[in-house]
């Protein structure tokens, strides 16, 4: 039996692709609820604009699946990065050159009318990127997996199950199953405003210098930004002390939100690795992992699910998984990903 531990977007994708490849006796389980962990709290951005080839390639290989899903799961409204300083613009242009060399259709962009631009010195966008509904997408993957014969169970701890193969997709909790995995939790929070009248085609907007970003979701605006001091650990606490700052940033960049207030707020966990790249592949005899995505797991789950399923079923993957092997941590991390939002 193949046990896939963790029924968020990543575990659901692995189970689905295992079934597509003909694997039988597959169990997708979660000690909590289906899609009840990090996936349920994700921002839902889907982008190919990363700072390293390893991350770009995972996102590239995933975008087709999101395009196939389409609305209401995925809206291809684009991802817009704006720079307000010359140094920030140079970083955007350097990343754009890398991304374009890998085939990502990134281009210099005009800032939409809804977004304040009088302090913007330049912007880039990939209009093939967009925003998604993470829980709905994950549940669709679970539905497809179950339709192909995968058993799905909630409230089941994989550590107590007999199996031939274990696939660890438990996000920040992955080291509980395999202590050798250098994954630790980082708390991040999101805020949602009340209704804001803005174009439904508003892209995800990211400020290069600050990492402040926002998107439209169900007529509201969802806001995210890293904390001044990283909050390591499993506590998922909302810090109301930052609300005024985040709203001020939103009102500055999105004039339509001038009267917005925080209507909801929640916190979730990133599963961080030392180099912000994921761990994908065999980690022990009969044990595989797909974790450590450092905030990017949802958007990369289609490609990872397919690649890891191939390795398990076929013994090899059509996707080069060498940058994501656990063994890379024997020395100094190479090519650390810097664009962690």
Task: Give me the pLDDT at residue 54, please.
Answer: 86
Distance between CA atoms of residues 52 and 61, nearest Å: 15
Does residue 338 sit within a domain? no
The DSSP output letter for 335 is S
The yes-or-no verdict on residue 336 having pLDDT over 70 is no
The yes-or-no verdict on residue 245 having pLDDT over 80 is yes
165-168/287-291 β-pairing: parallel
Does residue 87 sit within a domain? yes
Q: Which of 39-53, 103-117, 164-178, 319-333 has the lowest mean pLDDT?
A: 319-333
Q: Which two tokens stand for residue 128?
A: 């093939």
Single pTM value for the model: 0.93
Burial state string for 222-237 with b = 16 or more CB within 10 A and e = fewer than 16: bbbbbeeeebeeeebe
The yes-or-no verdict on residue 142 having pLDDT over 70 is yes
Helix axis angle, 9-20 to 297-314, nearest 10°: 30
Q: Which two tokens stand for residue 39?
A: 């996936």
Does residue 340 sit within a domain? no
The DSSP output letter for 40 is G
Number of domains in the chain: 1
Query: What's the pLDDT band for 193 if we cut at 50, 70, 90?
Result: very high
The yes-or-no verdict on residue 339 having pLDDT over 90 is no
Query: What's the pLDDT band for 330 if we cut at 50, 70, 90?
Result: confident
Does residue 337 sit within a domain? no
Show Cβ contacts of residue 70 under 8 Å, excluding neighbours closer than 6 positions: none
Q: Which two tokens stand for residue 19?
A: 């079934």
Q: Which two tokens stand for residue 286?
A: 């009969």
Q: Are 276 and 340 in contact (CB under 8 A)?
A: yes
Does residue 276 sit within a domain? yes
Task: Give me the pLDDT at residue 337, please.
Answer: 63
What range does the domain containing 251 cover? 2-330
Query: What's the pLDDT band for 157 if we cut at 50, 70, 90?
Result: very high
Mean pLDDT (the chain, rounded): 95
The yes-or-no verdict on residue 341 having pLDDT over 70 is no
Does residue 341 sit within a domain? no
Query: What's the pLDDT band for 238 if we cut at 50, 70, 90?
Result: very high
Show Cβ contacts of residue 243 under 8 Å, excluding neighbours closer than 6 positions: 191, 262, 265
Query: What's the pLDDT band for 334 if we cut at 50, 70, 90?
Result: low
- Residue 55 belongs to domain with CATH number: 3.50.50.60
Q: Which two tokens stand for residue 141?
A: 């993957």
First to last CA, the chain: 37
Helix spans in the chain (H): 9-20, 53-69, 86-101, 134-147, 243-253, 297-314
Does residue 336 sit within a domain? no
The yes-or-no verdict on residue 335 having pLDDT over 60 is no
Query: What's the pLDDT band for 333 if we cut at 50, 70, 90?
Result: low
Task: Give me the pLDDT at residue 107, please.
Answer: 98
Question: Does the bond joining 165 to the residue before it have cis omega, within 30 degrees of 0?
Answer: no
Other CB atoms within 10 A of residue 298 CB: 25
- DSSP per-residue string spanning 227-239: -SS-EESS-----
Does residue 335 sit within a domain? no
pLDDT tens sequence across 38-70: 999 999 999 999 998 988 999 999 999 999 999
Task: Give me the pLDDT at residue 332, please.
Answer: 61
């Amino acid at each position: 039996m193949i046990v896939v531990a963790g029924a968020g977007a990543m575990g659901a994708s692995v189970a689905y692709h295992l079934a597509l490849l003909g694997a039988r006796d597959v169990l997708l389980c979660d000690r909590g609820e289906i899609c009840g962990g990090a996936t349920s709290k994700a921002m839902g951005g889907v982008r190919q604009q990363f700072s390293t080839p390893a991350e770009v390639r995972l996102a590239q290989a995933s975008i087709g699946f999101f395009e196939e899903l389409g609305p209401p799961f995925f809206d291809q409204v684009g991802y817009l990065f704006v720079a307000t300083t010359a140094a920030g613009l140079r970083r955007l242009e350097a990343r754009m050159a890398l991304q374009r060399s890998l085939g990502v259709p990134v281009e210099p962009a005009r800032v939409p009318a809804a977004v304040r631009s009088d302090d913007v010195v330049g912007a880039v966008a990939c209009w093939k990127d967009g925003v998604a509904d993470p829980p709905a997408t994950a549940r669709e993957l679970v539905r497809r997996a179950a339709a192909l014969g995968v058993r799905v169970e909630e409230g089941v701890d994989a550590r107590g199950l007999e199996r031939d193969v274990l696939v660890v997709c438990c996000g920040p909790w992955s080291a509980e199953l395999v202590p050798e995995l250098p994954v630790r939790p980082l708390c991040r929070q999101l805020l949602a405003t009340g209704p804001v009248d803005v174009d439904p085609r508003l892209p995800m907007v990211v400020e290069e210098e600050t990492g402040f970003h926002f998107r439209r979701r169900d007529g509201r605006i969802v806001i995210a930004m890293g904390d001044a001091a990283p909050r390591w650990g499993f506590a998922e606490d909302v810090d109301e002390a930052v609300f005024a700052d985040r709203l001020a940033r939103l009102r500055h960049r999105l004039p339509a939100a001038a009267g917005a207030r925080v209507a909801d707020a929640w916190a979730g966990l990133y599963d961080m690795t030392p180099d912000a790249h994921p761990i994908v592949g065999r980690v022990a005899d009969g044990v595989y992992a797909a974790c450590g995505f450092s905030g990017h797991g949802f958007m990369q789950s289609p490609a990872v699910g397919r690649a890891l399923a191939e390795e398990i079923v076929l013994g090899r993957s059509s996707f080069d998984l060498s940058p994501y092997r656990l063994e890379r941590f024997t020395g100094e991390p190479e090519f650390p990903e810097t664009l962690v939002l």
